Every structure is written in structure tokens, then in C-alpha cells.
Amino acid sequence: MRLEELQTAAEQWIDENQPRWSAWCAQIFDLAETSWREYRSSAFYVDLLKQEGFEVEVGSGDMPTAFCAHWCSGDGGPLLGGYVEYDAIPGNCQAPVPHQEPRDGLSRFAPGHTDPHSALGVGSLIGFLALKAVMEKNDLAGGIKLFGEPAEKVCGSKPFHAAKGYYDELDAAFSFHPAYMLPYSNTCRWNIHCGGNYGKVYTFLCDDPRGWNESAAAPIPLAHATARAPGATDALMTMYQLSKTTRDSMLPHSGFWSLSEAILIGGQATADNLPPHISQIAYACRAPKIDMLEKVFEVLDRNARLSAEAAHCRVVETWVSKTRPGLANLAFAELTYKAIERIGGPVMPEEAKDFARKVQQSLGIDPMAEPFVDQVSDTIAPEVAEAEIRQMLPPDFNNFTNDDYVEYTWHTPTVRFYIGRPMLKAPEGGHSYPDWAMNALGGFSPAIDPMTAVAGKVISSTALELLTDPKALESIRAEFVERTGGGVRGTQWTAPLLDAKAMPPIDLRWPEYVSTPRGDNHWWIGKQGAEIERPET
């Protein structure tokens, strides 16, 4: 069969299987598990891929909710890779309804899919399943390696997979993401890729509170009369305030880097005369260059040591993420965009438009005949999209925002492409839609399925060209070799920033669903009561 016929067959597989994969997408949306705690979401993909004939390594890279699925056909042929994501974000619990409402039985503080990763994962999945179906039917030689990547929201899994060599054998890899920032919709990244991300948790431990200022010979009856050590909470608060104070001196405020913090655990004490023994604070920084990230964490490390010493504690450092700035591959972007242009952007059906109008109505906006922005369906050439982004950046910056897909780019030719998701059009005079509106559209099948279908078709179509046209694969591989100075471990190659023996931070106090006498799907913060609800205005 000619390439065009193979591509048509793959696209037909996606269309014919739409009821199946639409249900998969809705199921992942409803599970909505957070970073490092995607137990059921990961198991769903693992079981499905095994049923589809893949060999699956569960817990790849020492991550319980990660996996590596492999399937091959015939002898030889390229090994093509991609991934699914399935982590959600706390505080974004939204039902697929056109008004603000958490999913049934859950707090609005529970997690929800924002990007949404539910459709990101299924879009990638169906692209490779369609590819597999065509390869089997037409005896095409080659292989597929599909990764389950947890904890993307903290840029967590891919640096660990990369450090442990999981991407080294790939001949090419696909990275799909729903459009989240215009003009990146129905297009590919060109030269400008995402920057690096460092994430670290500082754990303060007050091991010997009695050693603060009590004599070793003090009798037990006087123990309750001695001054109490500051303890772990004081160390954490000192770190927090000190880092706030030094933030402006870490890097100049140029708008292209950010530093955020989160307190994972508030401290523990069992008596009023004992200080909290443990506290944890997480810092995450995104920046376009590695040396910028190194400077930030030099300051944070110093702040942590000083804070620990002042509060009679010691500090333990745990890396959560350490990603490299992304590496471009223009040949791969050009090849993939050719498929995007041929297939076209998503077309929103009337049912999706009616849902969007109800969202607008619930917000007091006059419903529009065409409630979605044109960029949902319009395509834009990668170099044109980049020209718009370039206007915002200093001339020496080739990296902007962050995502851990960048780890693939240093091990194999990788394309990063975006497909239009349902994005609401602002009324005249401007309007900022609340997050719940986008989240609801991401879970409403008639609105999100068109994007998912297009993403799958782009992957299968481009992959089939790589399988059947050796020159196309040679072209993207040659560019990768040139940019890295010889490929993996070449003279211009940047090695993984984590050690191969590094262990992922799976044992930290990440938010998760828990089993209680109240049920098996109880969010750890609890279900909101009237006392913490936002007051009526």
C-alpha cells in the first residue's frame, strides 16, 4: 500500500474506535489522581496495553505509577516512542458540566485535569494503537515503545527515566500536548523549546531537641522546665522567609524564570514541651538556562543550611526534578506539521458549542454563535508561531516555559506538537474565564474528543512516514547527530542531570486519595464544609 493509503487506514481506525477511546478519556478524567499517586490511572493503561498485545514493565525507573510498554513487528525497522500522562492538579476538581461544580462526592480542593492530561494521554495512546493496527495488517517492520509518565506537573518522571537509560534505544519520539498558550495551537515547536526545571524538597529534622540548651546531667524532673528548641517548623519558616528575602537577588527579574514553594508537611509534636521534629518545604524553579537554575539552588541550599542551624535542626535534600532545556529538531517539526496541515485542526460540533454557550451564560456573558476562538481549528506554521514568541524573548534565549518532555530531546529526535483544545472566545471588552470553565470543557466528550482524535491521527500519520520512508528518518536522525555533536554522549550532548542511581521522591507527603471509614475515594483535605466555603458575594 502507498503511504497515503496507510495513513487513511490509521485515521479510519481512530474514527471507528471513537466510542472506546472516548470512554477511556472520560474515565481518566474522573479518576484525577495527583503526582506520584496515580495508582488507578496507571493500572488502567497497563491493563489496556497488555490486552492490546504489549509487553509492559510496571514500575519502570523505580516509580510505582510509571510503566514502559513495548511491541514490535517483524525484524528490524525503527523503534518509535511516545508517552502518556495522567496526573491531575489539586484544587481543580470540576465536573464536566457548564457551571462550577466539583465531581460527585468530592471537595473543590480535590484534584482535576486542567491541561487536560486525560486527553493528552489518550490522544497519544490512540495514535500508537492505530499505528500498531496498520503495521500488523501490512507487515510493516518496526517497534513501539510507549511510556507511562507520572508526575508531569512537578516535572518528575522523565528525568528519572532518562537518567536510567530508558530513551537511549529510540529512533524518534513524539511529544503531544493540548494547546495551552497561543500561538502554539495546531503547530509544532521550532527552535524555541521549553527550558529547564529544578525541583527539590528540603526536610528539616530536629533529632535531639533536649540538646538545645539542657545540661546532659540535668535530672529528668527538670526536663519540662527547660527552654524548648525551636524545632523543624521554625527552620521551615526561617527558610521560607529567608528565601523570600533573597528571591530578588537570585536572578534579575526578567519575566522568564519563576520560583515557587509549597509546604508538604507542617510539623509534628506530641506534647506542648516538645518541638516539631519534622517539616518539609518544596521549591520548584523554571528557567531557560541551566546556569540560572544552578545559581538559584546555590542560594536555596545555603538558606536551608543556615535555617537548620538556627533552629537546632539538620536538613536533608531530595531532588524531585532536574530537567535540561529542550533540543530542537526542525526536520521532525516540519514533517509533523505537514501531517497537521493535511489533517486540519479540530472542528467543534454543535453539541460542544451549545455546552460552551451554557458556560458563558452561567458567567453572565451573552452566549455567542461561535463561542470558541478561531485558533482551536486554525493551523499555524511552526516558524510563524515562533516569530510571535520571539518578540517576547531576549535574543539569546532559545527556551521558554517548562515541561519535562525536554528529557526525550537529548536521547532521540523528538517533536513537540500542540493541537487546539476548546478555548472560549472573550466578549468585546475582554474577559478572563475562570479555570473551572476550561476544566469542564476538557471533560466534556463532544468538546475534547475532536482534539484527541486529531492528535492521534498526527502521530500515526507521521510515524507511518518514518516507517516507510528511510530518507525521512535519516533526515531527522542526521539533525540530531549534528546538534549533539555525534548523538548520545556526543561532544555537544548534555547528559542527564540526575544520577542513574537516583531514586524518585515517591515516599514524600504528596496529596492523594485515601481510604477511610467514610469511603475509599476520600480526598486527604476532606470535603469542604460551610465554614470554609467562599462567602456569597
Interacting residues of 459 by C-beta distance below 8 A, sequence separation 6+: 82, 123, 124, 127, 128, 131, 174, 176
Mean residue pLDDT across the chain: 92
Contact 388, 395 (CB under 8 A): no
Structure confidence at residue 25 (pLDDT): 98
Reduced to 3 states (helix: H, G, I; strand: E, B; else coil), residue 513 is strand
State the cell numbers at 534.
467562599
Mean pLDDT in residue range 10-14: 98
Whether 467 shows a pLDDT value over 80: the answer reads: yes
Q: Out of 28-37, 151-160, 510-519, pick the least confident.
A: 510-519
State the cell numbers at 290.
541551566
Structure confidence at residue 215 (pLDDT): 54
Surface-to-core class of residue 126, CB atoms within 10 Å of its CB (0-12 exposed, 13-18 middle, 19+ buried): buried
Whether residue 29 is contained in a domain is answered as yes
Structure confidence at residue 248 (pLDDT): 79
Q: How many domains is the chain built from?
A: 2
Whether residue 400 is contained in a domain is answered as yes
- Kindly state whether residues 28 and 176 are assigned to the same domain: yes
Structure confidence at residue 271 (pLDDT): 61
- Kindly state whether residues 154 and 207 are assigned to the same domain: no
Contact 9, 33 (CB under 8 A): no
Give the domain CATH number at 434: 3.40.630.10
Of the residues 322, 356, 383, which one is the last residue of a structural domain? 322
Domain that holds residue 279: 197-322
End-to-end Cα distance, the chain: 64
Interacting residues of 119 by C-beta distance below 8 A, sequence separation 6+: 25, 29, 113, 178, 421, 442, 448, 451, 452, 455
Tell me the percentage of the chain whose pLDDT exceeds 70: 92
Strand partners, 201: 282, 318
Give the domain CATH number at 237: 3.30.70.360
State the cell numbers at 33.
489522581
Interacting residues of 253 by C-beta distance below 8 A, sequence separation 6+: none
For residue 78, the one-letter residue type is P
pLDDT band at 348 (very low <50, low <70, confident <90, very high): very high
Whether residue 118 is contained in a domain is answered as yes
Torsional sign, CA 147, 152, 156, 158: positive
Whether 504 shows a pLDDT value over 60: the answer reads: yes
- Kindly state whether residues 351 and 306 are assigned to the same domain: no
Whether 474 shows a pLDDT value over 50: the answer reads: yes
pLDDT tens sequence across 296-306: 999 999 999 99
- Kindly state whether residues 275 and 180 are assigned to the same domain: no
Structure confidence at residue 251 (pLDDT): 75
Q: Give DSSP secondary structure letters for 297-362.
A: HHHHHHHHHHHHHHTT-EEEEEEEEE-PPP---HHHHHHHHHHHHHH------HHHHHHHHHHHHH
- Kindly state whether residues 233 and 347 are assigned to the same domain: no
Structure confidence at residue 533 (pLDDT): 52
Specify the DSSP class assigned to residue 367.
P
pLDDT tens sequence across 166-186: 999 999 999 999 999 999 999
State the cell numbers at 109.
480542593
Whether residue 493 is contained in a domain is answered as no
pLDDT tens sequence across 45-94: 999 999 999 999 999 999 999 999 999 998 889 999 999 999 999 999 99
Whether 221 shows a pLDDT value over 50: the answer reads: no
Mean pLDDT in residue range 212-223: 55
- Kindly state whether residues 262 and 202 are assigned to the same domain: yes
Contact 468, 77 (CB under 8 A): no
pLDDT tens sequence across 232-263: 999 999 999 999 998 878 876 656 788 899 98
Whether residue 531 is contained in a domain is answered as no
Structure confidence at residue 352 (pLDDT): 98
Structure confidence at residue 536 (pLDDT): 47
- Kindly state whether residues 10 and 115 are assigned to the same domain: yes
Whether residue 267 is contained in a domain is answered as yes
- Kindly state whether residues 178 and 40 are assigned to the same domain: yes
Strand partners, 317: 202
* Residue-level length of the chain: 537
Whether 40 shows a pLDDT value over 70: the answer reads: yes
- Kindly state whether residues 21 and 164 are assigned to the same domain: yes
Of the residues 484, 511, 526, which one is the last residue of a structural domain? 484
Interacting residues of 250 by C-beta distance below 8 A, sequence separation 6+: 259, 295, 296, 299
- Kindly state whether residues 290 and 361 are assigned to the same domain: no
| Beta strand extents in 189-294 (DSSP E only) | 193-205, 258-265, 278-287
- Kindly state whether residues 148 and 232 are assigned to the same domain: no
CA dihedral of 441, 445, 450, 453, whole degrees rounded to 10 = 130
For residue 62, the one-letter residue type is D
pLDDT tens sequence across 390-433: 998 888 888 989 999 999 999 999 999 999 999 999 988 777 89
pLDDT band at 535 (very low <50, low <70, confident <90, very high): very low
Mean pLDDT in residue range 82-110: 94
Structure confidence at residue 291 (pLDDT): 93
Nearest Cα to Cα of residue 419 among 462, 473, 468, 459: 459
- Kindly state whether residues 309 and 342 are assigned to the same domain: no
